[in-house]
């Protein structure tokens, strides 16, 4: 581990020197790339230097204790310094193990979130809207920007499906654990008898892919235009502005009809398509690496039931980590940090366990 840390520190110093190079400073793309790498390395280097200082203090104190001949009071003082340095050393060593875990290359990316109503008919569509609002409020609290890419609204104010982009630092690192099936148990707005109904909604969280991440050739695309449809108002056009793009090699189909402009719909559809194709490529790569251990929490299979929201008990339960919180209203209003922090902690623990095996 020490060799790896020394290598990280050397790279940190190398980048710091490069940032003063006029050629680097004039190349904005390269400059920003180095700044991102520097930001990623900084906490590791700072913690390593804290570890090194503690090691030096512990060795100096031990040297004094081994020499002998110290009076009682001074020996007690040196012994205390030795114990404090040893405690700091052990603590920073464990923190460094976490910092040195392989980073998810997608963590700093924006995300595309797709929410689809599942079992439960109208109630599932209404809950899809509830989850969209939850994520939008969470993004707003973190000062992230959201933009709807495509939606299929219902007459009752729900969504059969909705796709939106979340732009902000660390968006994927925080939201990637939301992929999966979300279950709600509540009395539907459409239910007159007051009976509790169970519905499901599927959430998929994809890292936004750029043209650099995934190359899609024009010859691989089939692009169709059609007239937008929906619950009325802005979702119904009199021109063929809606776009359907099919990626022929994978059969991936994306539609976008929220904008009145065919050009804008096409741009939004391509954002979703690139991210879906990249996700599929990464999934295949993971499966092809024989014997690779995957984190038990991870990003989750989108067919896996990950969370239940129970209205009668005011309860939210995340089934992957056995976490239950009795603050349903706050969570549906975007207060997700306690759940997400617990998921990140559990994921980190699983990765550390895998590293040690």
Note whether 60 and 184 are same-domain residues.
Answer: no
pLDDT, position 324? 95
CATH number of the domain to which 141 belongs? 3.30.70.1660
Flag whether 336 is in a domain.
yes
Write out pLDDT tens, residues 24-73.
888 888 888 898 889 888 989 999 999 999 999 999 999 888 887 778 88
**Position 277 pLDDT exceeds 60:** yes
pLDDT of residue 119: 84
Contact between residue 214 and residue 280 where contact means Cβ atoms under 8 Å apart: no
Residues 62 and 166 in one domain: no
Identify the band that residue 212 occupies on the pLDDT scale cut at 50, 70 and 90: low
Identify the three-state secondary structure at position 202: strand
127 and 73 in a common domain: no
Indicate the range of 46-55, 108-117, 134-143, 346-355 predicted with least confidence: 346-355
Of the chain, the percentage scoring pLDDT greater than 90 comes to 38
Q: Within this chain, do residues 162 and 277 fall inside the same structural domain, yes or no? A: yes
Question: Which segments of 100-213 does DSSP mark as H helices, in order?
Answer: 122-141, 171-175
Split at pLDDT 50, 70, 90, the class of 293 is: very low
Q: Of the candidates 68, 99, 130, which is a domain's last residue? A: 99
Question: Do residue 89 and residue 141 come from a single domain?
Answer: no
- Parent domain of 309: 108-287+299-357
Residue 302 Cα to chain centre, angstroms: 15
**DSSP structure class, residue 217:** -
User: pLDDT tens across 162-184, in order?
Assistant: 999 999 988 999 999 999 999 99
Q: Are residues 27 and 159 in the same domain?
A: no
Task: State yes or no: pLDDT of 139 exceeds 50.
Answer: yes
Let me know: does 178 contact 206? Beta carbons within 8 Å.
no
Per-residue pLDDT band for 239 (boundaries 50, 70, 90) equals low
Confidence of residue 351 (pLDDT cuts 50, 70, 90): confident
pLDDT at 317: 95
**How many other CB atoms are there within 10 angstroms of residue 39's CB atom?**
11
User: Rounded to an integer, what distance in angstroms lies between the CA atom of residue 16 and that of residue 306?
Assistant: 43
Q: Which one is predicted more confidently, 251 or 142? A: 142
CA distances from 279 to 107, 112, 201, 209, 285 (A): 14, 11, 20, 9, 10
Bridge partners of 305, per DSSP, are 181
Is 265 in the same domain as 318?
yes
Q: pTM higher than 0.75, yes or no?
A: no
Tell me: do 166 and 243 sit in the same domain.
yes
Same domain, 82 and 117: no
Q: Is the pLDDT of residue 291 over 60?
A: no
215 vs 13, more confident? 13
**133 with 29, same domain?**
no
Q: Which of the 8 DSSP states describes residue 19?
A: T
At 192, the pLDDT band (50, 70, 90 cuts) reads low
Q: What does the mean pLDDT of the chain come to?
A: 84
294 assigned to some structural domain: no
My answer on whether 73 and 178 are in the same domain is no
Range of lowest pLDDT (80-84, 130-134, 282-286): 282-286
Q: 11 lies in a domain?
A: yes
């Amino acid at each position: 581990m020490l060799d790896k840390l020394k290598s990280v520190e050397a790279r940190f110093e190398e980048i710091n020197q490069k940032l003063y190079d006029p050629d680097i400073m004039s190349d904005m793309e390269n400059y920003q790339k180095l700044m991102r790498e520097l930001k990623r390395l900084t906490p590791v280097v700072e913690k390593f230097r804290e570890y090194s200082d503690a090691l030096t203090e512990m060795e100096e104190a031990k040297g004094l204790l081994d020499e002998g001949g110290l009076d009682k009071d001074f020996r007690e003082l040196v012994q205390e310094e030795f114990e404090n340095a040893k405690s700091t050393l052990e603590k920073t060593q464990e923190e460094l193990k976490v910092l040195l875990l392989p980073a998810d290359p997608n963590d700093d990316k924006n995300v595309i979130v797709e929410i689809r109503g599942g079992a439960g008919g109208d109630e599932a569509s209404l809950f899809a809207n509830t989850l969209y609002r939850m994520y939008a409020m969470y993004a707003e609290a973190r000062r992230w920007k959201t933009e709807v890419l495509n939606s299929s609204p219902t007459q009752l104010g729900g969504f059969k499906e909705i796709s939106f982009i979340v732009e902000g630092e660390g968006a994927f690192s925080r939201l990637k654990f939301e992929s999966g099936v979300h279950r709600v148990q509540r009395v539907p707005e459409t239910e007159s008898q007051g009976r509790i109904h169970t519905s499901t909604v599927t959430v998929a969280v994809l890292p936004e892919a750029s043209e650099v991440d995934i190359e899609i050739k024009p010859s691989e695309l089939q692009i169709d235009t059609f007239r937008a449809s929906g619950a009325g108002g802005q979702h119904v056009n009199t021109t063929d502005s809606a776009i359907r793009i099919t990626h022929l090699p994978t059969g991936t189909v994306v539609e976008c009809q929220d904008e009145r402009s065919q050009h804008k719909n096409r741009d939004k559809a391509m954002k979703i398509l690139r991210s879906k194709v990249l996700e599929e490529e990464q999934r295949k790569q993971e499966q092809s690496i024989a014997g690779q251990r995957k984190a038990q929490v991870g990003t989750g299979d989108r067919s896996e039931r990950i969370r239940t929201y129970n209205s009668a008990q005011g309860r939210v339960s995340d089934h992957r980590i056995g976490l239950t919180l009795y603050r349903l209203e706050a969570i549906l209003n975007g207060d997700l940090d306690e759940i997400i922090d617990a998921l990140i902690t559990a994921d980190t623990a699983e990765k550390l366990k895998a590293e040690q095996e």
